[in-house]
Amino acid sequence: MNKAPKALIAAAKKLRTQLDPLPFSEPIACVYNPLHYAWSAHEKYLKLYASSPCRVFLLGMNPGPWGMAQTGVPFGEINAVRDYLQIETPIDKPSPEHPKRPIEGFQCSRSEVSGRRLWGLFSEKYPDPADFFSEHFVANYCPLVFMDAGARNITPDKIPAAEIAPLDAACDEHLQQCLKILQPEFAVGVGAYAESCIKRVCASNKSLSQISISKILHPSPASPAANRDWAGQATKQLHAAGIW
């Protein structure tokens, strides 16, 4: 019996509760937590696709504004979530909601480039998502979306050390739980930040020391390198790591 979905759902609920009271100061003016308003889709993702043991665990940083922020699914570009992952549920509204960053759920017309690239590569190699998830799972380190007063995105690596410490403590604990539940052979950071989080958590727990850690280039269009055949570069990195 696959107990991974139930265990990951419990872990996500715990993380959601731990993060709720954390304060953040300027320039952060608004914080969204899709584990609240997009929980129905996130829970469905875990129920449908989490399985243990999982050979390859891929970790992103935090939700993009037009991806997981809208759909509750890691790297959750809307068309990929709806058409490839076969998930579409009603999405509620965060409170407060920034007027320049509305949450429209699956009605959102914007496309998250990072998610389109990531899920595009996986769906091309594994046309049936069941084949992909029989060996892989995709998660995010931090579920929160941060923005300044003008609705510009702020990534966790830009948050002051005093405020990031309690956030990292909760997210590290959650990541550790995910790794223990899924028991991956390989853990892949999607980008250097996520890789560093995996290394830190695995180094602090002997039971995770056997996991092979590597990274792939983050698919964000903000990275000039990612705009030059990201899929080809990521595929080479996964081959070099012995994963594909």
**Predicted TM-score (pTM) of this structure:** 0.97
pLDDT tens-digit readout, 48-82: 999 999 999 999 999 999 999 999 999 999 999 99
Going by C-alpha positions, the residue among 243, 86, 61, 53 that lies closest to residue 145 is: 61
Q: How far apart are the C-alpha atoms of 44 and 196, rounded to whole Å? A: 28
pLDDT tens-digit readout, 160-204: 999 999 999 999 999 999 999 999 999 999 999 999 999 999 999
Please tell me whether residue 228 adopts helix, strand or coil conformation: coil
Q: What token pair was written down for 87? A: 């998930």
Computed on alpha carbons and rounded to an integer, the radius of gyration of the chain in Å comes to 17
pLDDT tens-digit readout, 74-117: 999 999 999 999 999 999 999 999 999 999 999 999 999 999 99
Fold annotation for 9-240: Uracil-DNA Glycosylase, subunit E (3.40.470)
53 CB-contact burial (10 Å; exposed 0-12 / middle 13-18 / buried 19+)? exposed
| String of DSSP letters for 11-51 | HHHHHHHHHTT----TT--EEE-HHHHTHHHHHHHHHHH--
The H-or-E segment that residue 192 falls in is helix 192-203
Question: What share of residues in the chain are helix, strand, coil (percent, to 5)?
Answer: 50, 10, 40
